[in-house]
Structure 1
Amino acid sequence: MEVYGPEALTFEERERSFFYSLPEHSGNEPLPVFFCFHGAGSSARHHMKITNFHKLSDKHQVLTVFPEAVQFDPKDRMTKQWNEGREENAAFQHEVDDIGFVLELIHWLRQRHSVDDTKIYATGFSNGCAFSLRLGVECQEVFAGVGGVSGPLVKDFVEATHWLKPMPMLFIMGTEDQFVPFDGRYDSTYIIDQLLSAENTVRFFANSWGTELAKHIEEVDEGENFAIKKHSYLQGEEEKVVFYSIKGGGHTWPGGSLSQASVLTGQVVSQLNATKVLFNHLIKFQR
């Protein structure tokens, strides 16, 4: 595996940076691409640390990309967010075209590497997850599937969306998230608003398949601290949209670095590896 970066390209008169990984011996075969978007106030390096998505490059022959969001106030790291569509987001207020940046980054990658255009995916954590879901809604002709952890879809996209094709998706969220309301009911104790509930986010993507998908729920793990349920939306026997709900789970990347744990974020769930389940679900689909 080879990791490159920070690389940079100029977009909207700003220098935008990113890291990416390639298999050590990729040859000329077109590579699937996984975009991995960090959370608000975080960074590409930190997202690499907690997810280890880049380590999939050699084993699975994929290209992974870790872009950086724009930070507007150097003294306030929370002004560094992806424009997922919320009015209170600094990137939204400054009209940052993060979608345009991602499309330009895909073009940049195509010019330098062999990219499988039918297998481009978007994943992320928290704000980066909400942005990934926005990409799945607004760039249906580009992405073969989307997903992430702890970042439901912004409500405003629901009424404005016209599904052109089915969109595979996998979503993970803890019921005790103190940053984002699991049930979509915002009050002053939460930091983030304007988002759908976890369940409605998943159902929205399930509806992209047009026909009513069969829903199956199974208990994955009944641990001392967490109870994990897998909600599968099936077409025949094939899982198209999947939701892992973690009873007692907080605002962390399951299976990731233990350094994420704190009083605010909660513990790190070890019974579920978010990187693994996201990859295994999405890689099955192509545009």
Structure 2
Amino acid sequence: MDTIKMQEIKHQNKNRTFYYFSPENSSEPLPLVFCFHGAGSSARHHMKISRFHKQMNTYPAIFVFPEAIQVDADKRMTKQWNEGRTKNASYQNGIDDVGFTLEIINWFKSYYPLDERRVYATGFSNGAAFSCRLGVECQEVFAGVGGVAGPIVQEIAEGCEWIKPMPFVFFMGTADPIVPFDGIYTDDYEIDQLNSADSTTELFAASWDEKALKKKEESLEECSACKTSYYDRYGEEKVLQYTIKEGGHTWPGGPPSQASNWTGEVCHELDASMLIMGHLMNCNN
């Protein structure tokens, strides 16, 4: 039975909350997997749509679901991770979510046997863009990044300087009605200042030896999706992108109730949580 635990820590003189699941009675050092919710959402809702913690039986790890700060109590969409957009309310109010994340890691170091070589950032939408920021700005801490429907912020990408290879896996629908797949913004979209899906994946691919990196694209038979893989010199997949044709702003493999006129369609043939965990864990055996 999965048992959820809640913890509060203080950061920037604010009480910050996170929830987590951990294997029982483990004496071995455990990987730590961050699971960041989307804008206007919550840690508990992200548990429901991603069911990331259900991967614990296959991949023994600590799965942590942090809670963002809602800057304006009357405006739900001001509850966002500071992923680096200047239009983000958390950015404008100086919310240090990077520091909060690092404090969570320190807390787990104090209370659990932690494998510090295997700390991962994953997320949905705004949480995915924040995970990309962590992968770029905290390369000495994170061993890989996985995201759905949240490309990296343009300014963060422009300032990126790789000091080590970074495993990466990303999912995005071509018909996402909230964040444009191609990074071309019009008044129809609610979010801007983000790169395209392709350029986000290419940025992380550039963390590897480009001379040795090989790119392969294939259509997946089980669904209307294309998988783009970047292989290293040993033929191992290091960077992946799943492009879901006509997919919406939803979590692949999540509940059908995600689908709406506002969010678009859900891909049921792919399980993003399973594929993210499989890729990141295999890259760091």
CA distance in 2, matches of 1:60, 1:160: 33
- Note the alpha carbon deviations across 1:123-162, whole angstroms, 9 max, x for none: 0000000000000000000000001100000011223111
- Identity of paired residues, percent? 53
Q: Write the letter of the residue equivalent to 1:81.
A: Q
CA distance in 2, matches of 1:126, 1:211: 28
Helix, strand or coil at the partner of 2:257: helix
2:263 to 262, 265, 271: 265
Map of 1:215 onto structure 2 = 215
Helix, strand or coil at the partner of 1:86: coil
Map of 1:16 onto structure 2 = 16
1:22-37 superposed matches below 5 A: 22-26=22-26, 28-37=27-36
Q: Write the letter of the residue equivalent to 1:70.
A: I
Q: 1:34·1:65 contact (CA, 8 Å) conserved in 2?
A: yes
The structural deviation recorded for 1:2 is: 4.3
1:244 to 242, 245, 249: 242
Q: 1:130·1:151 contact (CA, 8 Å) conserved in 2?
A: yes
Taking structure 2 as the reference length, what is the TM-score of the superposition? Answer: 0.96
Stretches of structure 2 that go unaligned for 5 or more consecutive residues are none
CA distance in 1, matches of 2:157, 2:265: 32
CA distance in 2, matches of 1:5, 1:69: 17
The structural deviation recorded for 1:237 is: 1.5
Taking structure 1 as the reference length, what is the TM-score of the superposition? Answer: 0.96
Q: Matched residue pairs, number?
A: 283
Q: Write the letter of the residue equivalent to 1:10.
A: K
2:227 to 227, 230, 237: 230
Helix, strand or coil at the partner of 1:66: strand
Q: Write the letter of the residue equivalent to 1:155.
A: Q
Map of 1:45 onto structure 2 = 44
CA distance in 1, matches of 2:4, 2:222: 40
The structural deviation recorded for 1:222 is: 6.2
Helix, strand or coil at the partner of 1:211: coil
Map of 2:253 onto structure 1 = 255
Q: Residues 253 and 276 (structure 1 numbering): CA distance in 2 closer, same or farther, change over 3 Å?
A: same
CA distance in 2, matches of 1:216, 1:151: 23
The structural deviation recorded for 1:186 is: 0.7
- Note the alpha carbon deviations across 1:80-106, whole angstroms, 9 max, x for none: 000000011010001111000000000
Q: 2:59·2:277 contact (CA, 8 Å) conserved in 1?
A: no
Stretches of structure 1 that go unaligned for 5 or more consecutive residues are none
